[in-house]
């Protein structure tokens, strides 16, 4: 009889391979649980800051006047930073589980290192964007305006994390391994929040009496061009 048809007999014949696969599965479950616990611990430690800042930040995303009033609020700025770190951690864990599901080769090669790697990549993208915007603002002598735009992008990134958090928690803590609903929901949330952010930049350009032509120039050079480069880089992975 073919041994491939008898799973039990195959276990007896190849104990080392089975034990190795079981160890890998247990290690994967341990790493997944560890990152989820760290995520929950971060939420508990920063709960008061998040509680004070969450609703004002949401209001800033939907009310332009509220953003103008709170742009120099230092206590709210601390909450923004906390929630931004929370959002980076959130999307890092979600990206880790996407790789675990759709790119098994990368998952088996790097394992749990993918989570801090994604966190560092997201952080470097934000810092690079911050440096470029401040440089452009310094060149045209409008540093505060571009700082306002960069800080506003954090609010909508936080909003995208809040939109995807319920479905992400349901997907990560449920028995189902289906990640496609989370992928569709996450991409939709990011696209919607990004479009809201672009509309916010248009409102701000009009508020400071910039021509719409300069907004289109900003859109092509500092938004569309970096996204095209990032998309090209992702295609090479």
Question: For residues 76 and 68, is the Cβ–Cβ distance under 8 A?
Answer: no
pLDDT digits 0-9 by tens, 106-127: 777 777 788 889 999 999 989 9
What proportion of the chain, given as a percentage, has pLDDT over 70? 81
The pLDDT assigned to 28 comes to 57
Query: What angle, 0 to 180 degrees and rounded to 10, lies between the N-to-C axes of helices 180-207 and 74-102?
Result: 150
pLDDT digits 0-9 by tens, 157-205: 999 999 888 877 776 666 555 677 777 888 888 899 999 999 999 999 9
Ordered by start, the domain boundaries in the chain are: 46-235
Question: For residues 55 and 159, is the Cβ–Cβ distance under 8 A?
Answer: no
- As given in the structure block, the two tokens for residue 92 are 């890092």
Return the closest-CA partner of residue 133 out of 148, 118, 123, 122.
Answer: 148
CA distances (Å), 160 to each of 77, 104, 189, 220, 228, in order?
A: 18, 26, 6, 23, 21
């Amino acid at each position: 009889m073919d041994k491939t048809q008898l799973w039990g007999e195959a276990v007896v014949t190849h104990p080392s391979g089975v034990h190795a696969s079981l160890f890998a599965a247990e290690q994967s479950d341990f790493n997944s649980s560890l990152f989820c616990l760290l995520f929950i611990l971060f939420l508990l430690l920063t709960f008061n800051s998040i509680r004070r800042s969450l609703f004002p930040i949401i209001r800033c995303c939907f009310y332009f006047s509220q953003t103008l009033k709170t742009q120099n609020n230092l206590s709210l700025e601390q909450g923004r930073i906390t929630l931004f770190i929370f959002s980076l951690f959130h999307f890092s864990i979600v990206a880790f589980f996407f790789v675990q599901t759709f790119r098994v080769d990368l998952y088996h090669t790097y394992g749990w290192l993918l989570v801090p790697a994604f966190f560092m990549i997201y952080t470097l993208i934000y810092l690079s964007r911050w440096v470029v915007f401040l440089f452009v603002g310094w060149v045209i002598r409008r540093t505060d305006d571009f700082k306002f735009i960069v800080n506003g992008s954090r609010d909508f990134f936080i909003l995208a994390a809040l939109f995807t958090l319920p479905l992400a928690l349901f997907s990560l803590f449920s028995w189902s391994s289906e990640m496609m609903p989370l992928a569709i929901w996450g991409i939709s949330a990011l696209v919607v929040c990004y479009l809201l952010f672009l509309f916010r930049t248009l409102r701000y350009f009009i508020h400071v009496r910039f021509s719409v032509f300069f907004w289109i120039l900003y859109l092509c050079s500092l938004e569309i061009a970096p996204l095209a480069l990032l998309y090209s880089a992702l295609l090479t992975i």
